[in-house]
Chain A
């Protein structure tokens, strides 16, 4: 008997300044192999992980931002971004990568992975999770 648990990966750090964002992405990609119900949440400075147009040649670090677009291929298709966190930082969805997944039950139609949640909805998502990984 297998039991499917709700996994939440909670991302609260900006990329590059610390290793948290990159480590989270690694753990999500590894964890994707285990057939659980996976959600990614981006709150606080975590929303900066998904900004478009990151170019890291000048700081001599690996640009891992293109990897987020591979999440759909790993069946990670529930990505939640907190509205209040975006607004505090003067950002809109247009500043972020557009992440999608292909629905094989619907002729491989491309569907949006990202949903913007209010802080209250984000709190509810956290409450209903069985396992939370914090980064």
Chain B
């Protein structure tokens, strides 16, 4: 068992994602939602950082927030899983604790 880390800030505006990825331990899950979804997209300046982290942590993105901002699943870094609100709840319930990077 391990923690679920949630990131809801844009990686271009805040260091929440960077700090999260540097502190998340092997086997942890990271859920990107609200403006955090921009970290899940391919071809950005932060995509490398996310791809490197994916060796050790599982990355999820909230589909509703992705869609609201005009992006489809085809734009995601490969290996990132899309969840809906119910999936978010499941991840939180399965985790030892939820750590929110505000």
Q: Which residues of A contact B (CB under 8 A)?
A: 13-18, 44-45, 48, 51-56, 58-59, 61, 63, 65, 88-90, 95
The docked-state distance in angstroms from the alpha carbon of A128 to that of B63 is 42
Judge whether A89 and B45 touch: CB under 8 Å.
Answer: yes
User: What's the dominant secondary structure at chain B's contact region?
Assistant: loop
Q: Which residues of B contact A (CB under 8 A)?
A: 8-10, 12-13, 34-35, 38, 41-45, 47, 63-65, 67-72
Judge whether B68 and A54 touch: CB under 8 Å.
Answer: yes
Judge whether A55 and B67 touch: CB under 8 Å.
Answer: yes
Contact of A89 among B12, B65, B68 (CB under 8 A): B12
The docked-state distance in angstroms from the alpha carbon of A45 to that of B36 is 12
Judge whether A48 and B67 touch: CB under 8 Å.
Answer: no
Judge whether A54 and B44 touch: CB under 8 Å.
Answer: no
User: With A17-B35, A59-B64, A90-B44 given, is the CB distance from A48 to B13 under 8 Å?
Assistant: no
Judge whether A16 and B12 touch: CB under 8 Å.
Answer: no
Judge whether B44 and A14 touch: CB under 8 Å.
Answer: no
The docked-state distance in angstroms from the alpha carbon of A36 to that of B100 is 44
The docked-state distance in angstroms from the alpha carbon of A58 to that of B85 is 9
Closest B residue, CB atoms, query A96 = B70
- Distance between B6 CB and nearest chain A CB, rounded to angstroms: 13
